[in-house]
Amino acid sequence: MANYETILIERHDAVTLVRLNRPQALNALNSRVLAELIDVMGAYDADPDQRCLVLTGSEKAFAAGADIKEMSSQGFADMYGSNFFAGWEKVTATRKPWIAAVAGYALGGGCEVAMMADFIIAADTAKFGQPEIKLGVSPGMGGSQRLTRAIGKAKAMEMCLTGRMMDAQEAERSGLVARVAPAAELIDEALKTAKTIADMPPLAAIANKEMVNAAFETGLAQGIVFERRLFHGLFGTEDQSEGMAAFVEKRPGAWKGK
């Protein structure tokens, strides 16, 4: 898929910047957006020159949810039969690191996609919410699970049951976002952070991501064994020898991705 209709892509050296671009619908996530994101994330994973990715929206909306107009006439048999939203698992299968840079609304599926990222950097204008209950439905792209793990049961339950929005400051206090930046600096901040990650040894970046996700997705004992095995595995890479030699020799490391 070469011509994207709903996203824009910029390359900043080893960092890919992806902008959701459906301004007429506040970046509502329809099937086309999903297909294009699956394509772009797959291409990113396969490109050894790209080391980190930033997903963002507009100043007004990261994404105002799944596309309600696309879903409104669907029934149970349509949704269950097509396993609607299952394609998002291909986005979360991205192995390399990616960051969500959120300004404005991140509601419903928008909040859920932001939470699929490895972490969120929020503009001070960001507003997070799971308002699906107001439409007679619920989160369907992992929001009830990821939000609860991120901010705990009390706040997640309150947000899902009331549909209220959480501002950037509360989101930072609650552990939903890594950091808040002034809106005008959001993209620069996200690109700067992405560059820091892009400069890291690439295999160690994937391994660090996998083990933090294991803490999120498995029990503690299982997660600790998983971490230790991946840690041992990194001692089979040239970048480990180089990284430790560079430290001892007081010079920057030169990474090979091997």
User: 132 an active-site residue?
Assistant: yes
Residue of 38, 52, 54, 67 interacting with ligand CAA (CB under 6 A): 67
User: 28 an active-site residue?
Assistant: no
| Packing angle, helices 238-248 and 202-217, rounded to 10 | 110
Catalytic option among 28, 61, 66, 214? 66
Closest distance of CB 31 from ligand CAA, Å: 12
Q: Which positions from 7 through 26 interact with ligand CAA, judged by CB under 6 A?
A: 25-26
At residue 35's C-alpha, the angle toward residues 64 and 54, to 5°, is 60
Q: Which positions from 139 through 158 interact with ligand CAA, judged by CB under 6 A?
A: 139-141, 143
Residue 65 engages ligand CAA in binding (rule: CB under 6 A): yes
Residue 113 engages ligand CAA in binding (rule: CB under 6 A): no
Task: Kindly tell me which of 45 and 124 has the beta carbon lying closer to ligand CAA.
Answer: 124
Cβ atoms 129, 159 nearer than 8 A? yes
Residue 159 engages ligand CAA in binding (rule: CB under 6 A): no
b/e sequence 55-84, b meaning 16+ C-beta within 10 Å: bbbbeebbbbbbbbeebeeeeeeeeeeeeb
Residue of 44, 62, 98, 105 interacting with ligand CAA (CB under 6 A): 105
CA 239 to chain centre: 26
| Both tokens assigned to 179 | 């950091």
Residue 54 engages ligand CAA in binding (rule: CB under 6 A): no
Rounded to an integer, what distance in angstroms lies between the CA atom of residue 241 and that of residue 212? 23
Taking residue 244's Cβ as centre, other Cβ atoms within 10 Å add up to 12
Closest distance of CB 201 from ligand CAA, Å: 35
- Stretch of 11-19, 127-135, 227-235, 246-254 lying at the interface with ligand CAA (CB under 6 A): 127-135
| Both tokens assigned to 256 | 């090979």
Residue 103 engages ligand CAA in binding (rule: CB under 6 A): no
Taking residue 254's Cβ as centre, other Cβ atoms within 10 Å add up to 10
Identity at 38, one-letter amino acid code: I
Measured CA to CA in angstroms, residue 4 lies from 7, 38, 68, 86 at distances of 6, 12, 21, 21
User: 70 an active-site residue?
Assistant: no
Rounded to an integer, what distance in angstroms lies between the CA atom of residue 160 and that of residue 149? 13
Residue 120 engages ligand CAA in binding (rule: CB under 6 A): no
Rounded to an integer, what distance in angstroms lies between the CA atom of residue 109 and that of residue 143? 8
Residue 34 engages ligand CAA in binding (rule: CB under 6 A): no
User: 112 an active-site residue?
Assistant: yes
Residue 135 engages ligand CAA in binding (rule: CB under 6 A): yes
Closest distance of CB 59 from ligand CAA, Å: 12
Binding site for ligand CAA (CB under 6 A): 25-26, 28, 64-69, 105, 107-109, 112, 131-132, 135, 139-141, 143
Catalytic center residues: 66, 109, 112, 132
